Structure 1
């Protein structure tokens, strides 16, 4: 009887532990994502700005018309810990190595992983 109770306890504990979620791919175009937990490291590609239309002033697109991304050395994604960043209206790539802790994307089309961690 003791062995039977332990098997039931182990089975109950194993069922109570949530399985790890699969990393997001594609990554949504807006948000902050933790590398390893939310997204996998790798090289990602986006089609560019997620805006339906662009606003240009003196032949320069406004910030709201462009896609921007940032990688951070800490999971809290504060501007003091930016490792790399880029902004564009057109298609671009973002390298997200395993050494960074967070990736932030603003106003972008979804990001699709092209290769595993660089």
Structure 2
């Protein structure tokens, strides 16, 4: 079965809510989707005018120079891909699919974690993994574990994908309003292994979601939600 023919392991988990802070509820002060692996950042570059096009080309060239490996292929861990944490950005419409596998059999039993991605995704590849597969994704770049950023605390996109706390988004309490039919999924994570044990809290939301992202959370995942605004 082709990779895109598989349903992300996380798609099943999306209906399992762990330690939830959800619609019209209070916030979770702890540390730490639909379509997540145990459980997607859009490229919002300047698209206007020739200057924007040139800027976009420059950004794409810079991204290629940082790439650790391409977004399409099967890679042997330790030979083609070193253990570590990697990021892909700017993916759209869930067409990016990746998986970590314990062997190259292609069987469902070989899957350790997988996901269909809109926006960005971070994945930690372990030394004990045997294979990493990627299809339809933008190139993967190595993540500096010590990297720091100065992200705005005003808010972030509701379909941004998996975001790194302290680098892509700031800790704090955020609100997403106007969600319908449980299409909004959020998740607080302690790592990028995408296992059930990675999830600190999650929820599928109709209506308003209020979530506190802790300073010690590693990542926050958001898919299909209205944009998140700082809630004070």
Match of 2:75 in 1: 33
Cα distance between partner residues in 2 of 1:47 and 1:79 = 26
Rg larger in structure = 1
Corresponding position of 1:47: 89
Q: Distance in 1 between matches of 2:119 and 2:144?
A: 20
What are structure 1's unaligned runs of at least 5 residues? Answer: 1-24, 55-60
Find the residue that maps to 1:75 and give its secondary structure.
coil
Asked if 1:72 is matched to 2:114, the reply is no
With the length of structure 2 as denominator, give the TM-score of the two structures: 0.32
Runs of 4+ that moved beyond 4 A: none
Computed over aligned residues only, the root mean square deviation of the Cα atoms, in angstroms, reads 2.1
**8 Å Cα contact 1:74/1:81 also seen in 2:** yes
* Superposed displacement of residue 76, structure 1: 3.8
Higher strand share goes to which structure?
2
- SS state at 1:89 partner: strand
**Contact 1:46 1:109 (C-alpha < 8 Å) held by counterparts:** yes
CA contact (8 A) 1:32 1:77 kept: no
Q: Deviations over 1:52-78 (max 9, x none)?
A: xx6xxxxxx4xxx52111000013443
Report the Cα distance in structure 2 between the residues aligned to 1:77 and 1:107, rounded to whole angstroms: 18
Inter-partner Cα distance in structure 2 for 1:87 and 1:30: 14
> What is residue 97 of structure 1 aligned with on the other side?
126
Please say if residues 68 and 85 of structure 1, whose CA atoms lie closer than 8 Å, have aligned partners that are also in contact.
yes
More helix by share: 1
Number of equivalenced pairs? 80
By relative contact order (CA 8 Å, sep 6+), the higher-ranking structure is 1
